[in-house]
């Protein structure tokens, strides 16, 4: 079994959906996981926001604009009028659900129902196109019947495996399955989602549950680049990454992958290929248990961090101090991203500030507490310990006089993390690109000659 996931841009128009239909042709069994069409989830987020603000009229007109758009796409994709009208009436159930939620004040669970409509719309359209226009046999698998979170809002692996197997079981003769990314149910059975960008995570979870031999993430760029191509010029794709390297880059901000999406693939050693729908022949990036030899391969950045410093003379020569600090974060279910210590102080970062006030109040029992908001983690990934002949010097030379709030090195063999003010993010990424990668570009250009 092979899993192929197509993101929002890849299914963003009737023409793009036709190209996806070409790309998935094969006699091998496959599960195709689709995102919502580009722009749809943002639109649904905006509609829910208007409803929370009581702007029913504005929410109604925005939903109507979206509905008109889908009618247009359906007519373009399904040129036979009877088929198009039948599909439009099926798409209509999604819009009826949204309009139905406008009758009373929107709840958080109502919002999640609205957000789920994007993937339901895209898969319905694509499935109709394959079966009714291309005459291809394909089964539409309802993700809401097998994709599930447990009571900790983590994927319920056992449930997913059991129910995906049940969904596949009646179709042993079928080779092509289409399903929704992103959407799921939570432990209460209510409609939920895997957070923005979550279709990558769906693909990886489905791959793990189905025992896939490869997971392909098809997107709008030719693989994972060495730096954020939206910020830095002259980035290039990395051909091979280990699971650990890719997991760190995804977690620390490489938008091409959902932060958790590498984990299920790594657990079952399933290779993940990042491929470009607009340039299918490009080799992309292969993520597997193997790693390449470059010392520093890539840089990613994650915004929205808060740095907290706890200074206490009680820490000096004491044991159990860090445990007490960590327990505060555990009580508020707030993950810590980065940590550095000295004899009398510990600095750490969090990206979820929901319980910041309560956490700070408890930490003040230990000593003085200072916070810095608007911080960005810059994560450098590669063979940094084994190949460390001078990589730290290269990094510091590249950084020049950019002020660093924290540095973490040695926590894993393939990562150096730096904490900078978000205001310094752009110049840090550019400086690292100039100092670390220009040499490698020159190097590979020279050896190609």
Q: Which residues are annotated as a binding site for substrate?
A: 41, 119
Say how many C-beta atoms besides its own lie within 10 A of residue 428's C-beta.
23
Cα-only R_g, the chain: 24
Q: How many angstroms separate the Cα of 362 from the Cα of each of 317, 330, 357?
A: 22, 12, 9
Question: 64: which 2 tokens?
Answer: 């109507």
Select the binding partner of residue 196 from ligand ASP, ligand ADP, Mg ion, none (C-beta < 5 to 8 A, by kind).
Answer: ligand ASP
- CB of residue 143 to Mg ion, shortest distance in Å: 16
Site string for ligand ASP, 172-211 (x = CB under 6 A): ---------xx-------------xxxx------------
**Binding residue for ligand ADP (CB under 6 A) from 67, 225, 273, 302?**
225
Single out the residue of 226, 251, 217, 241 nearest to residue 289, CA to CA. 241
Select the binding partner of residue 182 from Mg ion, ligand ASP, ligand ADP, none (C-beta < 5 to 8 A, by kind).
Answer: ligand ASP
Question: 34: which 2 tokens?
Answer: 């689709």
Q: Give the residue with the Cβ less far from Mg ion, 179 or 414.
A: 179
Interaction of residue 117 with ligand ASP, rule CB under 6 A: no
Is residue 430 classed as helix, strand or coil in its secondary structure? helix
- CB of residue 46 to ligand ADP, shortest distance in Å: 18
Is residue 394 classed as helix, strand or coil in its secondary structure? helix
Q: Give the residue with the Cβ less far from ligand ADP, 42 or 368.
A: 42
Question: 266: which 2 tokens?
Answer: 């790594």
**Binding residue for ligand ADP (CB under 6 A) from 221, 315, 378, 429?**
221
Select the binding partner of residue 312 from ligand ASP, Mg ion, ligand ADP, none (C-beta < 5 to 8 A, by kind).
Answer: none
**Footprint of Mg ion on 184-203 (CB under 5 A):** 197
Label each residue of 166-191 as H, E or C.
Answer: HHHHHHCCCCEEEEECCEEECCCCCE
Mark the segment that binds ligand ADP (CB under 6 A) among 56-64, 109-117, 228-236, 386-394.
228-236
Single out the residue of 370, 368, 248 nearest to residue 301, CA to CA. 248
Q: Give the residue with the Cβ less far from Mg ion, 197 or 284.
A: 197
Single out the residue of 148, 188, 189 nearest to residue 167, CA to CA. 148
Q: Give the residue with the Cβ less far from Mg ion, 12 or 110.
A: 12
Cα distance between residue 339 and residue 350, in whole Å: 10
Interaction of residue 233 with ligand ADP, rule CB under 6 A: no
Select the binding partner of residue 230 from ligand ADP, ligand ASP, Mg ion, none (C-beta < 5 to 8 A, by kind).
Answer: ligand ADP
């Amino acid at each position: 079994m092979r899993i192929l996931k197509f993101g929002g841009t890849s299914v963003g128009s009737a023409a793009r959906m036709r190209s996806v239909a070409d790309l998935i042709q094969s006699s091998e069994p496959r599960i195709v996981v689709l995102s919502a069409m580009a722009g749809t989830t943002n639109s649904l987020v905006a509609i829910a926001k208007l409803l929370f603000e009581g702007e029913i009229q504005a929410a109604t007109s925005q939903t109507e604009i979206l509905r008109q758009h889908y009618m247009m796409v359906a007519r373009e994709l399904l040129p036979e009028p009877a088929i198009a009208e039948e599909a439009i009436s099926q798409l209509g159930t999604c819009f009826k659900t949204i309009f139905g939620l406008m009758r009373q004040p929107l709840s958080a669970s109502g919002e999640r129902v609205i957000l789920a409509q994007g993937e339901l719309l895209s898969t319905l359209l694509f499935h109709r196109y394959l079966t009714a226009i291309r005459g291809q046999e394909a089964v539409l698998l309802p993700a809401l019947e097998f994709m599930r979170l447990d009571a900790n809002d983590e994927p319920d692996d056992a449930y997913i495996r059991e129910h995906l197997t049940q969904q596949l079981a009646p179709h042993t003769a079928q080779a092509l399955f289409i399903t929704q990314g992103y959407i799921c149910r939570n432990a209460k059975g209510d409609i939920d989602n895997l957070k923005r960008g979550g279709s990558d995570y769906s693909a990886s979870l489905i791959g793990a549950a189905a025992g896939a031999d490869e997971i392909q993430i098809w997107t709008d760029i030719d693989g994972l680049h060495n730096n954020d191509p939206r910020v830095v010029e002259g980035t290039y794709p990395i051909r091979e990454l280990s699971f650990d390297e890719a997991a760190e880059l995804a977690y620390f901000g490489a938008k091409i992958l959902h932060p958790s999406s590498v984990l299920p693939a790594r657990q079952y050693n399933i290779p993940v290929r990042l491929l470009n729908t607009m340039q299918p022949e490009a080799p992309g990036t292969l993520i597997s248990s193997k790693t390449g030899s470059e010392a520093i391969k890539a840089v990613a950045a994650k915004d929205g961090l808060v740095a907290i410093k706890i200074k206490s003379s009680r820490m000096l020569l004491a044991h159990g101090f860090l445990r007490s600090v960590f327990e505060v974060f555990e009580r508020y279910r707030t993950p810590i991203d980065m940590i550095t210590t000295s004899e009398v102080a510990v600095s750490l970062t969090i990206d979820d500030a929901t319980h910041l006030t309560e956490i700070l109040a408890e930490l003040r029992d230990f000593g003085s507490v200072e916070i810095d908001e608007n911080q960005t983690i810059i994560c450098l990934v590669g063979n940094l310990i084994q190949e460390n002949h001078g990589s730290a010097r290269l990094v510091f030379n590249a950084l020049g006089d950019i002020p660093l709030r924290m540095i973490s090195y040695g926590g894993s063999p393939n990562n150096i993390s730096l904490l900078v003010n978000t205001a310094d993010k752009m110049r840090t990424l550019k400086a690292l690109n100039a100092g670390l990668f220009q040499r490698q570009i020159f190097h590979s250009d020279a050896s190609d000659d």
